[in-house]
């Protein structure tokens, strides 16, 4: 094989999540009552627009979740095949031009020279102090004067491609439009337009320039931003996944059985809640770090270590956030178990386990779905803050938090290096905003009370 697949735990979980979601979607299609809220969601323009915006994020994140090691050339004749110790992802291959073209240090967006002056030795041996040319950024230009022309040529080509694609897309959408008439395809199409208009020229420009500049060690900031997306997605989704078993289990059990079970569960979550969250997370993260340090043999590569830390961070965040969901579910279950049909089930001697899974769980599912949707963006923001204060992801992991953290040094430089923080800001804002909007429509679609309000208003 030319490569050896590497299964990082978060990769597996993320893909598992994708499969489960797909399965759930398929299941929903066959059950009208389950599909109904989703139909309501996708009939709103906001939902469609935000899904269109989220899709590229998702694609980038998933592409970055397929890891492998490439094969090295054979050295001896009989020796076994050996693989490069470096773990790459599909995204790394797709963006290899961004990954491999590293400058020495900072350079501004679209720059052809470094951001700081250096001693340069001229051909005749003289030393001058000037801004050195970049190794890659704009290196194809024979004369730096051509830069603007070259850039506009690339941008124009990008725009043309975008326009062509856009029109093509209108064609593709047509049959879909006929199939699901209620979905506002127009809104989707109008969202794709601007996305293409931005993405295509950036793509073409990134071939020759560093569109978002380079960071301290000369890495392309666009590449870093793309790599950060996966971290955000993992934190946003896997954390809720880690939280769900606790949240749902404890919540409905406490609400259903009451008595000492309820007391115990309440005790546990009040205790956890009363510890200031950041302290709990910081302590847990440090603890896990020690675990990793004590057992280096379990995590032979940096990628695995960083991945374990990311996974554990999800777990820790999950443990500290499950209490909210538990409280909600406990309240709802208390209410539900008073209802006649549950009482009736009791009277017929239906087992507790059956009542819980067949009657209670489906009826609180909407709360779970709403919570998951709402939590996503909050978690993405939390990751940034935690990484900023140093108890977040592994320093070797690229994330928006680590980018912002680096910016605190960059902003105290003179002259100021603004592009990393600007890139992190833009990428994060769009992601979180889209996620928030989507979560809103999900809530509107699922929450019976909100629906009533919408009708009344």
Q: What residues numbered 372-431 form the site for another protein, per CB under 8 A? A: 377, 381, 384-385, 387-390, 392-396, 398, 400-402, 404-415, 421, 425, 428-429
Nearer to another protein, 174 or 408 (CB): 408
Q: Tell me if the bond preceding 415 is cis, omega within 30° of 0.
A: yes
- Name the minimum Å distance from CB 286 to another protein: 5
Under the binding rule (CB under 8 A), the answer on residue 337 touching another protein is no
Interacting positions 8-67 with another protein (CB under 8 A): none
C-alpha distances in Å from residue 313, one per residue of 316, 352, 431: 5, 34, 20
Q: How far apart are CA 310 and CA 300, in angstroms?
A: 16
Q: Single out the segment in contact with another protein by CB under 8 A; choices: 154-162, 197-205, 298-306, 358-366.
A: 298-306
From 67, 154, 210, 305, residue interacting with another protein (rule: CB under 8 A) = 305
- 109 with 210: CB under 8 angstroms? yes
Q: How far apart are CA 183 and CA 177, in angstroms?
A: 8
- Name the minimum Å distance from CB 408 to another protein: 6
Under the binding rule (CB under 8 A), the answer on residue 105 touching another protein is yes
Q: How far apart are CA 312 and CA 288, in angstroms?
A: 7
From 130, 144, 207, 293, residue interacting with another protein (rule: CB under 8 A) = 293
- Name the minimum Å distance from CB 417 to another protein: 9
Under the binding rule (CB under 8 A), the answer on residue 89 touching another protein is no
Nearer to another protein, 335 or 358 (CB): 335
Interacting positions 117-176 with another protein (CB under 8 A): 117-118, 125
For the chain, percent helix, then strand, then coil, each to nearest 5?
A: 70, 5, 25
From 112, 219, 321, 337, residue interacting with another protein (rule: CB under 8 A) = 219
Nearer to another protein, 149 or 287 (CB): 287
- Residue written as tokens 């992190």? 424
Q: How far apart are CA 158 and CA 161, in angstroms?
A: 5
Query: Which residues on adjacent β-strands are paired with residue 107?
Result: 214
- 230 with 66: CB under 8 angstroms? no
Q: Which of 379, 387, 384 is nearest to 425 (CA)?
A: 384
- How many residues touch another protein (CB under 8 A)? 89
- Name the minimum Å distance from CB 282 to another protein: 5
């Amino acid at each position: 094989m030319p490569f050896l697949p590497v299964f990082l735990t978060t990769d597996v979980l993320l893909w598992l999540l994708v499969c489960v979601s797909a399965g759930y979607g398929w299941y929903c299609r066959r059950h009208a009552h389950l599909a109904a809220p989703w139909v309501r969601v996708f009939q709103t323009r906001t939902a469609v627009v935000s899904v269109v915006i989220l899709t590229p994020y998702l694609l980038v994140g998933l592409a970055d979740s397929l890891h492998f090691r490439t094969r090295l050339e054979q050295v001896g004749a009989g020796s076994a095949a050996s693989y490069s110790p470096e773990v790459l992802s599909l995204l790394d291959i797709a963006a290899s031009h961004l990954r491999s073209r590293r400058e020495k240090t900072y350079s501004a967006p679209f720059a052809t020279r470094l951001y700081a002056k250096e001693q340069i030795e001229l051909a005749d041996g003289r030393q001058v102090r000037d801004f050195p040319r970049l190794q890659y950024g704009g290196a194809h230009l024979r004369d730096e004067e051509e830069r603007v022309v070259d850039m506009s040529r690339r941008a124009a080509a990008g725009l043309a491609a975008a326009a062509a694609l856009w029109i093509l897309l209108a064609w593709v959408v047509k049959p879909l439009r006929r199939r699901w008439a209620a979905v506002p395809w127009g809104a989707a199409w109008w969202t794709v337009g601007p996305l293409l208009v931005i993405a295509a020229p950036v793509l073409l420009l990134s071939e020759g320039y560093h569109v978002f500049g380079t960071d301290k060690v000369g890495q392309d900031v666009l590449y870093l931003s793309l790599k950060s997306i996966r971290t955000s997605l993992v934190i946003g989704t896997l954390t809720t996944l880690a939280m769900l078993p606790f949240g749902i289990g404890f919540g409905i059990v406490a609400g259903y059985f009451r008595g000492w079970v309820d007391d115990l569960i309440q005790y546990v979550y009040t205790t956890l809640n009363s510890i200031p969250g950041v302290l709990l997370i910081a302590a847990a993260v440090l603890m896990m770090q020690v675990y990793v340090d004590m057992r280096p043999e379990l995590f032979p590569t940096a990628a695995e270590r960083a991945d374990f830390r990311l996974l554990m961070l999800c777990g820790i965040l999950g443990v500290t956030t499950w209490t909210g969901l538990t409280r909600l579910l406990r309240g709802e279950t208390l209410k539900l178990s008073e209802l006649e049909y549950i009482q009736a089930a009791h009277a017929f001697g239906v087992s507790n386990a059956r009542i819980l899974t067949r009657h209670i769980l489906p009826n609180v599912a909407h709360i779970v779905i709403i919570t998951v949707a709402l939590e996503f963006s909050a978690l993405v923001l939390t990751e940034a803050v935690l990484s900023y204060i140093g108890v977040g992801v592994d320093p070797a992991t690229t994330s928006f938090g680590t980018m912002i953290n680096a910016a605190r040094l960059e902003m105290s430089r003179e002259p100021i290096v603004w592009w990393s923080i600007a890139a992190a800001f833009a990428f994060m804002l769009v992601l979180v905003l889209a996620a928030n909007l989507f979560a809103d429509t999900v809530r509107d679609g699922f929450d019976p009370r909100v629906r009533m309000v919408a009708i009344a208003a």
